[in-house]
Amino acid sequence: MASPYRALFAAPGTKGFAAAGFVGRMPLSMMGIGVVTMISQLTGRYGLAGALSATIALSAALIGPQISRLVDQHGQRRVLRPATLVALVASAGMLLAAHFSWPDWALFVCAAGIGSVPSLGAMVRARWAALYRGTPQLHTAYSFESVVDEVCFIFGPIISIGLSTAWFPEAGPLLAAGFLAVGVFWLTAQRATEPKPHPRGRRGEGGSALRSRGLQVLVATFVATGAIFGAVDVVTVAFADERGHKAAASVVLAVYAAGSCVAGLVFGLLRFSGAPQRRWLLGILAMAVSMIPLLLVGNLLFLAVALFVAGLSIAPTMITTMSLIEEHVPRAQLTEGMTWISTGLAVGVALGSSVAGWVIDAAGARAGYGVSAVSGAVAVVVGFLGYRRLSRPATGRGGTVEQHSEREERHVA
User: Which pTM does this prediction carry?
Assistant: 0.74
Instruction: Name which of 81, 184, 69, 181 is nearest 124 in CA terms.
Output: 184
Which residue ranges form the domains of the chain, and what is each CATH number? Answer: 16-197+208-412 (1.20.1250.20)
Q: What pLDDT, on a 0 to 100 scale, did the predictor assign at position 380?
A: 94
Contact between 93 and 72 (Cβ < 8 Å): no
Q: What pLDDT, on a 0 to 100 scale, did the predictor assign at position 372?
A: 92
> Residue 144: is it exposed, middle or buried by C-beta count within 10 angstroms (0-12/13-18/19+)?
buried
What gap in Å lies between CA 266 and CA 223, rounded to an integer? 26
Q: What pLDDT, on a 0 to 100 scale, did the predictor assign at position 72?
A: 83
What's the chain look like in SS3?
A: CCHHHHHHCCCCCHHHHHHHHHHHHHHHHHHHHHHHHHHHHHHCCHHHHHHHHHHHHHHHHHHHHHHHHHHHHHCHHHHHHHHHHHHHHHHHHHHHHHHCCCCHHHHHHHHHHHCCCCCHHHHHHHHHHHHHCCCCHHHHHHHHHHHHHHHHHHHHHHHHHHHHHHCCCCHHHHHHHHHHHHHHHHHHCCCCCCCCCCCHHHCCCCCCHHHCHHHHHHHHHHHHHHHHHHHHHHHHHHHHHHCCCCCHHHHHHHHHHHHHHHHHHHHHCCCCCCCHHHHHHHHHHHHHHCCHHHHCCCCHHHHHHHHHHHHCCHHHHHHHHHHHHHHHCCHHHHHHHHHHHHHHHHHHHHHHHHHHHHHHHHHCHHHHHHHHHHHHHHHHHHHHHCHHHHHCCCCCCCCCHHHHHHHHHHHHC
In a structure prediction context, what are the per-residue pLDDT tens digits for the chain, which is 413 residues long? Answer: 457 778 888 888 899 999 999 999 888 778 887 888 888 888 877 778 878 887 887 788 788 888 888 888 888 888 999 999 999 999 999 999 988 989 989 999 999 999 888 888 889 988 988 888 777 788 788 888 888 887 887 777 778 888 888 888 888 899 999 999 999 999 999 988 888 887 765 444 456 776 777 788 898 998 999 899 888 988 888 888 888 887 788 788 888 888 888 888 888 777 776 678 888 899 999 999 999 999 888 888 899 999 999 999 998 898 888 878 877 777 777 777 888 887 788 778 778 877 888 888 888 888 889 999 999 999 999 999 888 887 765 544 444 444 443 333 333 33
Instruction: Name which of 84, 314, 17, 347 is nearest 210 in CA terms.
Output: 347
What gap in Å lies between CA 413 and CA 401, rounded to an integer? 19
What gap in Å lies between CA 18 and CA 193, rounded to an integer? 11
Q: What pLDDT, on a 0 to 100 scale, did the predictor assign at position 405?
A: 38
What gap in Å lies between CA 371 and CA 62, rounded to an integer? 23
Q: What pLDDT, on a 0 to 100 scale, did the predictor assign at position 161?
A: 80
- Count CB neighbours of 113 within 10 A: 22
Contact between 18 and 210 (Cβ < 8 Å): no
- Count CB neighbours of 310 within 10 A: 26
